[in-house]
């Protein structure tokens, strides 16, 4: 029984590694030129800055166990010092609270050390990059995936380790039931409307001023800011989530000017000219975001696998990815939860 896994983010990689360890036949395909999905780390001058998810927490057993098993190291999010607050007029106050991310963990080297370790653990013939799937067909109990270049891949079952809205852009034959399509369209993609900015500096001057690096702003363009520095040594960094909608932030040069000005208001003149200012707009990433995802999420959705998305194509079409995790949906723990859950629905047979 061959399983085709579409999507080489954390969920797809974790599922592939489990199938490899258990001796099953599978192929993992990823549309991008890299594995990791929404996990993306910018490496700069010895610093490692996560442009997607950055944190995991105590009480999330799967990610903690995987980090330990892959011999990686976690460290505590920097949280010492006072919070900075900016009102709608741009007036800045300090000492209004403390770090909201205190107690969270980050990964030494960035989260892509984890996805790289998983990808490197898979044999070359079991994984493919630059392999977008544009159509899925089922005929006579076999599944066929058509790639963007016209090549076809045959499998006994398919796991879509993708955000459901992105998976919904694939052409299906026979078409999926209307209630399944509506359910897929109704699941907001976590982080898809977000844009993240990381400002890199030689020194953590905000710490010397008694600040945690945490800031809340009602003026923007960043609405929430945190310290993004490595566990020890430099370069140091501040990162923020940008709260303006995609059409407003389309002019990147203008956006950068506003970011420089805001950093200066919040943290003083030393913050005005970072040595690097990285921006990742997930809303413009076609393998993460759809038109329906362009609006940022302001609250954590209720995730899980709708009943309408189960038992499709005689139970040969399955979903993974953090959005279908019922407990930790939207977290990296949820990606692992979804990979774990889908194993119970697959028809698996060991290679002989």
**Tens digits of residue pLDDT in 194-238:** 899 999 999 999 999 999 999 999 999 999 999 999 999 889 999
Check whether 349 has a pLDDT greater than 80.
no
Check whether 57 has a pLDDT greater than 60.
yes
The residue to which tokens 């959005």 are assigned: 323
pLDDT value for 296 = 67
pLDDT value for 351 = 66
Q: Please tell me the pTM assigned to this model.
A: 0.96
> Where do the domains of the chain lie?
1-39+111-191+299-352, 44-55+74-109+193-284
pLDDT value for 348 = 85
pLDDT value for 352 = 53
Structural fold of domain 44-55+74-109+193-284: Polyamine Oxidase; Chain A, domain 2 (3.90.660)
Structural fold of domain 1-39+111-191+299-352: FAD/NAD(P)-binding domain (3.50.50)
pLDDT value for 186 = 95
pLDDT value for 99 = 76
Tens-place pLDDT, residues 61-115: 999 999 999 999 999 999 999 999 999 999 999 986 667 888 999 999 999 999 9
**Average pLDDT of every residue of the chain:** 95
Check whether 312 has a pLDDT greater than 90.
yes
Tens-place pLDDT, residues 133-151: 999 999 988 999 999 999 9
pLDDT value for 35 = 98
pLDDT value for 207 = 95
Q: How confident is the model at residue 10 (pLDDT cuts 50, 70, 90)?
A: very high
């Amino acid at each position: 029984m061959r399983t085709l896994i579409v999507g080489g983010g954390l969920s797809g990689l974790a599922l592939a590694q489990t199938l490899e360890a258990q001796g099953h036949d599978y192929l993992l395909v990823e549309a991008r030129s890299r594995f990791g999905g929404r996990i993306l780390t910018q490496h700069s001058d010895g610093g490692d800055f996560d442009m997607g998810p950055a944190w995991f927490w105590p009480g999330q057993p799967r990610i903690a166990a995987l980090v330990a098993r892959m011999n990686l190291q976690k460290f505590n999010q920097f949280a010492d010092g006072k919070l900075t607050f900016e009102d709608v007029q741009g007036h800045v106050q300090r000492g209004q609270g403390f770090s909201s991310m205190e107690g969270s963990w980050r990964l030494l080297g960035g989260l892509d050390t984890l996805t790289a370790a998983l990808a490197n653990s898979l044999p070359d013939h079991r994984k493919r990059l630059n392999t977008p799937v544009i159509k899925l067909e089922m005929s006579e109990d076999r599944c066929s995936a058509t790639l963007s270049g016209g090549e076809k891949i045959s499998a006994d079952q398919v796991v879509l380790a993708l955000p459901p809205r992105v998976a919904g852009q694939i052409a299906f034959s026979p078409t999926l039931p209307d209630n399944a399509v509506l359910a897929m369209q109704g699941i907001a993609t976590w982080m898809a409307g977000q844009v993240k900015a990381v400002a890199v500096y030689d020194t953590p001057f905000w710490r010397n001023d008694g600040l945690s690096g945490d800031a809340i702003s009602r003026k923007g363009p960043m609405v929430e800011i945190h310290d993004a520095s490595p566990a020890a040594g430099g370069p140091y960094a501040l990162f923020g989530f940008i709260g303006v909608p995609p059409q407003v932030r389309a002019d990147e040069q203008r956006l950068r000017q506003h970011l420089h000005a805001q950093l200066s208001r919040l943290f003083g003149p030393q913050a005005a000219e970072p040595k690097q200012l990285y921006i990742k707009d997930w809303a413009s990433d076609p393998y993460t975001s759809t038109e329906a995802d362009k609006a940022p999420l302001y609250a954590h959705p209720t995730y899980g696998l709708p009943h309408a998305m189960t038992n499709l194509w005689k139970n040969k079409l399955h979903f993974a990815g953090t959005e279908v995790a019922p407990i930790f949906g939207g977290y990296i723990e949820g990606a692992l939860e979804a990979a774990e859950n889908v194993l119970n629905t697959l028809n698996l047979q060991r290679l002989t």
